[in-house]
Amino acid sequence: MAVEVNKEECIGCSACVSACPFGAIIMDDSKAVITDGCTVCGACVDTCPVGAIIHAVEKKECAINKDDYKGVWVYIEQFEGQARNVGYELLNEGRKLADAMKQELSAVLIGDNVNHLTKEAIARGADKVYLVEGAEFNHFSTDAYTITLTDLINTYKPSVILMGATIDGRDLGPRVACRVTTGLTADCTNLGIDEETGLVAWTRPAFGGNIMATILCPDHRPQMGTIRPNVFKRAEPDFTRKGEVIQVASKVKVEDIRTKLIDIIKVCTASCNLEEANIIVSGGRGMCKPENFALIEQLASVLGGAVGSSRAAVDAGWMPALHQVGQTGKTVGPQVYFACGISGAIQHVAGMSSSDIVIAINKDPEANIFKLANYGIVGDVMEVIPALIEEFKKIK
């Protein structure tokens, strides 16, 4: 794909120069010139008043027969034999895509002794489960998992693959996509079916979250994407559902794994496991100084919850980025979300609006967060949070 300027038509208005987010257009002799910095984002095309900029698509012949690829797959990520929630969230969404496409929904389960997870995958919507087990999958290894998922795709040819945008999913997805020569839309926040083409429409934030881009994969298969945890809800399991388990032998050889696990050091305790947490206590700029986050941690600890933060608190250096909730942080969906000294900016709300119950503490009664909150406490966090800690301690 390339972006070109038709010099005959260019009237030299310069509108495209400021429209280019990469500064890749210069004016030369009153004509726009696209330089090497162009990323082919296409942002300049519609700004030209005379249609002089063309987004030229080179049609590449694709060797695969797309009709051979059928079915929607969901990769069920597991850790120490426990499935991560995101796999079940994606099964719920994958079920809708599969039904709309009139195709089967399958789960892919790779691990050591993970057979027990197949029942729940079926109960949560899968028609089939592809199961690959072996000691080599005891801990996630990029090589072993990449080889296995690539082999499954080449053998069974799914049309669509959904994976969690977790640390492991972000490692595995692009590698597998590259090996099977397809594209991958990373970090999606919405999924749908494109009416015109029937392809999966993958939506994700772009340009630092300032626009939402919807991406199609028209020429290659499978259509692949990673999806943020907590964007979709899990369906209630129905253990009367029937499904087929297809056991596939591992083809991984010892020499295929180029890394060796020496030790596991857990730097992240339950307090930063935001994506799986049922209760999250988040603090924002209204906590006023970093030391005051001790109160957030105490309240989270009393409730057995995780600690979240707004971007303002992260940018101020009060909290590490892995605690950030929001459009450019984590997307969370706990049963209870405490927003302490957080104004409720749209970018923060984008990451926590699927929480079941929101409790906001803010000294400004007009703060945006109260529009979303189920319960609101107008007051100073330094007075309200200690009182809550005391009361919750008594109840416990």
Binding of ligand SF4 at residue 43 (CB under 6 A)? yes
H helices of 75-136, in order, are 85-101, 118-123
Binding of ligand SF4 at residue 180 (CB under 6 A)? no
Residue selected from 284, 333, 334, 376 as contacting ligand FAD according to rule CB under 6 A = 284
CB 200 within 8 A of CB 217: yes
Length of the chain: 396
If the CB atoms of residues 280 and 342 are measured against ligand FAD, the closer one turns out to be 342
If the CB atoms of residues 30 and 181 are measured against ligand SF4, the closer one turns out to be 30
If the CB atoms of residues 223 and 230 are measured against ligand FAD, the closer one turns out to be 230
Residue selected from 44, 76, 313, 332 as contacting ligand FAD according to rule CB under 6 A = 313
If the CB atoms of residues 94 and 351 are measured against ligand FAD, the closer one turns out to be 351
Least distance between ligand FAD and beta carbon 207 (Å):
8
Residue selected from 164, 183, 305, 329 as contacting ligand FAD according to rule CB under 6 A = 329
If the CB atoms of residues 43 and 235 are measured against ligand FAD, the closer one turns out to be 43
If the CB atoms of residues 46 and 383 are measured against ligand SF4, the closer one turns out to be 46
Least distance between ligand FAD and beta carbon 378 (Å):
9
Given ligand FAD, ligand SF4, none, residue 286, with its beta carbon under 5 to 8 Å by kind, binds ligand FAD
Binding of ligand FAD at residue 327 (CB under 6 A)? yes
Q: Residue 65's Cα: distance from chain center in Å?
A: 29
Using a 10 angstrom Cβ sphere, with 0-12 exposed, 13-18 middle and 19 or more buried, the burial of residue 76 is: buried
Residue selected from 243, 341, 360, 385 as contacting ligand FAD according to rule CB under 6 A = 341
Residue least distant from ligand FAD (Cβ): 326
If the CB atoms of residues 43 and 248 are measured against ligand SF4, the closer one turns out to be 43
CA distance 174 to 180: 10
C-alpha separations of 57 from 33, 42, 60 in Å = 19, 11, 9
| Only segment of 21-29, 143-151, 184-192, 334-342 that touches ligand SF4 (CB under 6 A) | 21-29
> What tokens appear for 337 in the block?
């979300």
Residue selected from 4, 18, 50, 391 as contacting ligand SF4 according to rule CB under 6 A = 50
CA distance 359 to 100: 37
Residue selected from 166, 331, 343, 355 as contacting ligand FAD according to rule CB under 6 A = 343
Please give the DSSP secondary-structure letter assigned to residue 17: H
> What tokens appear for 201 in the block?
């429409």
The 206-245 site mask, x for binding ligand FAD (CB under 6 A), equals --xxx-----------------------------------
Q: Peptide bond preceding 222: is omega within 30 degrees of 0, i.e. cis?
A: yes
For the beta carbon of residue 143, count every other beta carbon within 10 angstroms: 15
C-alpha separations of 289 from 74, 318, 325 in Å = 43, 7, 18
Least distance between ligand FAD and beta carbon 18 (Å):
19
> What tokens appear for 212 in the block?
């939402």
> What tokens appear for 387 in the block?
């009182």
Residue selected from 18, 28, 42, 99 as contacting ligand SF4 according to rule CB under 6 A = 42
CA distance 68 to 64: 8
For the beta carbon of residue 358, count every other beta carbon within 10 angstroms: 21
> What tokens appear for 100 in the block?
């709309």
Phi, psi of 324 (to 5 degrees): -70, 130
> What tokens appear for 46 in the block?
């519609």
Q: At what angle do helices 142-156 and 167-179 cross, to 10 degrees?
A: 50
| Only segment of 41-49, 255-263, 269-277, 375-383 that touches ligand FAD (CB under 6 A) | 375-383
Beta bridge partners of 105: 72
Q: Which residues sit at the interface with ligand SF4, rule CB under 6 A?
A: 3, 5, 10-16, 20, 22, 24-25, 32, 34, 38-44, 47-48, 50, 52-53
Applying CB under 6 A, the residues found at the interface with ligand FAD are 208-210, 284-286, 288, 310-313, 324-329, 341-343, 345, 347-348, 351, 361-364, 367, 380-382
